[in-house]
Amino acid sequence: MTEETSSSNQADAKLLQASLEVVADRADALIASFYERLFAEYPAVRPMFPADMKPQEDKLLGAIVALVTHYETPEALRPTLLALGEKHAGWGVQPEHFTAVAGCLLATLREYAGDAFTPEVEGAWVRAYTWAAGTMMQGMAVGVAESRAA
């Protein structure tokens, strides 16, 4: 990691943390709203999820908090994201689903954070999500390769 990348990650980490603090008291509602938006805009993905969404909502919130908390130390997150990607391959997740999730997540964050969701904050979320999704897609590729070999 270059010094410039490290500095950029530090700046993004601060923006991510500050924006998460803005919505912290409404985090459960934000996550529920995200899934409502996702299912309304992409109804074909609804069958990939359980009927009772509360455990799933808790997992996503935990993943977002982990991403923000450990954003400056991506090597700490990488193994978990790769494993999560492998699991997602088994659930039928496709690369285009990551694009759908990104759009819905950003729209929901923008709605809940209001004026605090500046272009700089949005850029930090885009970079964080892009990195996390890319790492998960690497794990998905492993999962797909392993299932084909079996």
pTM of the model: 0.89
| Residue of 139, 3, 114, 130 lying closest to 71 (CA atoms) | 130
**Mind giving me the DSSP string for 78-143?**
HHHHHHHHHHHHHTT--HHHHHHHHHHHHHHHHHHHGGG--HHHHHHHHHHHHHHHHHHHHHHHHH
The domain ranges of the chain are 3-149
> In angstroms, rounded to a whole number, what is the distance separating the alpha carbons of residues 72 and 122?
17
| Residue of 108, 131, 123 lying closest to 28 (CA atoms) | 108
> In angstroms, rounded to a whole number, what is the distance separating the alpha carbons of residues 56 and 146?
25
- The CATH H-level (homologous superfamily) assignment of domain 3-149 is Globins (1.10.490.10)
> In angstroms, rounded to a whole number, what is the distance separating the alpha carbons of residues 144 and 42?
23
> In angstroms, rounded to a whole number, what is the distance separating the alpha carbons of residues 14 and 110?
17
Indicate the DSSP class of residue 80. Answer: H
pLDDT per position in the chain (150 positions), as tens? Answer: 444 456 678 999 999 999 999 999 999 999 999 999 999 999 999 999 999 999 999 999 999 999 999 999 989 999 999 999 999 988 889 999 999 999 999 999 999 999 999 999 999 999 999 999 999 999 998 755 665 665
